[in-house]
Amino acid sequence: MNINFHYFTIKALARISGFDEMEAQLIAEYSQFVDDFHQFLEEPIKCSCVPESAKFLCKDIYDKELDMYVRKFIPVNTGFAGVNIIFAASKTLQENALIPFHFIPEKQLNYINNKSRGIENYRVKKMQKTSCLLKSLLDYTAFLYKNNIGAIINLIRIGIVVHIFADTYSHQKFSGYWGWENSSRVIKVIDNLTKEDITAKYRKRLLDNLPAIGHANVNTVPDDSNISFTINFKIDKNDSLYMKEYSRDNTKEFLIASINIINYLRYCKGNKPISKEEWNILKKKLIKGFLFPKKSVSSLTVHWSEIFNELEFYYDERELNKPSDNFFDFNICAYEFKEIILGNLSFPSEIFYSNN
């Protein structure tokens, strides 16, 4: 998914779920910030500027100018974009950013590596089981929020986990690794509003030559809320004809994600699931939001403000990138989620997820 869902949809869902303006804004902006946070090439922050709670993320970095090691803050990168796409070819980045935050498997990664290796175990699946890793992450996040409702860090944590949750709907069938299982081709794309065939917009020859990491070979087809599509995958690594077909209506699929997310947010607030009557009204508004083809923040802000004129929408990635208490809390939460998904950390005993 993209900012149309991760920020604008989540902001609307959070407000309607009962979160106030400040709370909903934090949840939504840090949901989107998962995609936008990538400081690979920026100068590290000196550890002296880092709060005690985040100093565990500091490491000794060699400073050429000083000719000595200096302790600096190492950010927990959760996204990549533009020139930083080259980093996606690194297995380190795949396991520390792509898989934890965008292509979460059903079980912790070290368990899959040690006990159940196989392509299907790395692929993203919609959450259907009550004992999967994502369900445990959602429960863990709700548990922390309910036990300290006033803590901003818990709202940031909700933002991150609903991003991960949302991406299981858009990224299903793909994995976060570079592997043949992601080798795919765009066959057909339809604009759900105009019913126009817009395949040519998505089918680019250059994409065929990109490393098969996530959905790189099929452009933004899985993420765009206004389209229906058909793509073909390889059945196995020797399949040069791409014999496995997969079709989906993203507008309908993202509605399913929306009702599950709003009910999760309502659960966090101690509210009952949304009623059928309320959902039918909300669904019509969300469809209008999803069918909008533009992706710029300014265009989307106008569009969503017209649909939900009682709500405020404003997203500024640059502000979130500035060192602040919230910035460091985001990194703390991202580190925690990453280490749990990799299998290096366990959940508290109250909601411990067992792989057995």
By three-state DSSP, how is residue 95 classified? helix
Beta strands in the chain (DSSP E): 45-46, 58-63, 68-73, 184-191, 227-233, 244-249
Residue 200, pLDDT score: 96
- Location of structure tokens 């927990």: 76
Q: Give the whole-angstrom CA distance, residue 242 versus residue 131.
A: 33
Contact 109, 99 (CB under 8 A): yes
Give the residue extent of every domain in the chain.
3-39+91-171+249-351
Residue 43, pLDDT score: 77
Lookup: tokens for 77: 């990168």
Residue 253, pLDDT score: 97
Contact 281, 12 (CB under 8 A): no
DSSP state of 207: H
Contact 221, 231 (CB under 8 A): yes
Question: Helices marked H in 3-149 — which ranges?
Answer: 3, 10-17, 21-36, 91-93, 99-102, 109-115, 119-122, 133-147
- Nearest partner of 106 among 177, 168, 179, judged by Cα: 168
Other Cβ atoms closer than 10 A to 315:
20
pLDDT in tens, the chain (356 residues): 999 999 999 999 999 999 999 999 999 999 999 999 987 657 789 899 999 999 999 999 888 888 889 999 999 999 976 545 566 778 888 999 999 999 999 989 988 877 655 677 888 988 766 668 999 999 999 999 999 988 999 999 999 999 999 999 999 999 999 999 999 999 999 999 999 999 999 998 888 888 899 999 999 999 999 999 999 999 999 999 999 999 999 999 999 999 999 999 999 999 999 999 999 999 999 999 999 999 999 999 999 999 999 999 999 999 999 999 999 999 999 999 999 999 998 876 444 433 33
Q: Count CA atoms within 13 Å of residue 246 on its CB side.
A: 22
Residue 81, pLDDT score: 65
- Nearest partner of 161 among 204, 210, 117, 104, judged by Cα: 104
Q: Give the whole-angstrom CA distance, residue 283 versus residue 245.
A: 29
